[in-house]
Amino acid sequence: MNTNKQITKGNTMKKVIMMIGLISVIGLNLNTAANALVLVDGYFKSNGTYVDSHYRTSPDGVCWNNFSGC
């Protein structure tokens, strides 16, 4: 009877560890997609000023996850 409890406890622990791993992987994928960087090529403004190439966060309509903030 004690052996059956140990097997059940071991299986439960494996399931918990697998779920934590799965949630972690999904969370990392969502975080990476939200913080993707986009290269903006250099360009000349209408007044003749040159703006050098730079990186910005991908536009997603959410101001709190961008470099500039709200």
Structure-model confidence comparison of residues 27 and 11, the more confident one: 11
pLDDT at 54: 92
Give the integer Cα–Cα distance in Å for 66 and 53: 18
Q: Are residues 29 and 43 in the same domain?
A: no
Overall size of the chain counted in residues: 70
Domain count, the chain: 2
User: What range does the domain containing 1 cover?
Assistant: 1-34
Residue 39 backbone phi and psi in degrees, to 5: -85, 125
pTM of the model: 0.40
Structure-model confidence comparison of residues 28 and 33, the more confident one: 28
Contact by Cβ (8 Å): 55, 38: yes
Q: Are residues 50 and 30 in the same domain?
A: no
